[in-house]
Amino acid sequence: TIHFFYSPAWGPTFDTHTDPVDVIIDCHDGIKHMEVNGTEHIITPGGAMLLIPAGTPHRALNYEKALIASHGINDTETLSNIR
């Protein structure tokens, strides 16, 4: 599945949570800050995507505006092809 999220700077966000599948975060516009297992990651357009393994606590930190795609990957074949 793919979900697109647009967040204005300091916009509302989900609390820390986990997902039952691996998730890849891909930034399409702006700058996205993510906290994964207590460590902050910054994702930019054209930069590296962020892989969040299934069951890993994470949350978005909406310090800046951003448009992201959140790809839920629930099969290892697809994930292997992406890596």
pLDDT of residue 10 exceeding 90 = yes
Identify the pLDDT of residue 72.
93
Identify the pLDDT of residue 54.
95
Identify the pLDDT of residue 1.
85
Q: Which amino acid is at 82?
A: I
DSSP 8-state symbol, 15: P
pTM summary value? 0.86
pLDDT of residue 20 exceeding 80 = yes
Identify the pLDDT of residue 62.
95
Under a CB-based contact definition with an 8 Å cutoff, are residues 55 and 22 in contact?
Answer: no
Token duo for residue 73: 């990957």
Bridging pattern class, strands 32-36 and 58-61: antiparallel
Identify the pLDDT of residue 78.
63
Of 6, 13, 3, 54, the C-alpha closest to 34 is: 13
Q: Is 12 exposed, middle or buried (0-12, 13-18, 19+ CB in 10 A)?
A: exposed
Separation between Cα atoms, residue 25 and residue 50, nearest integer Å: 5
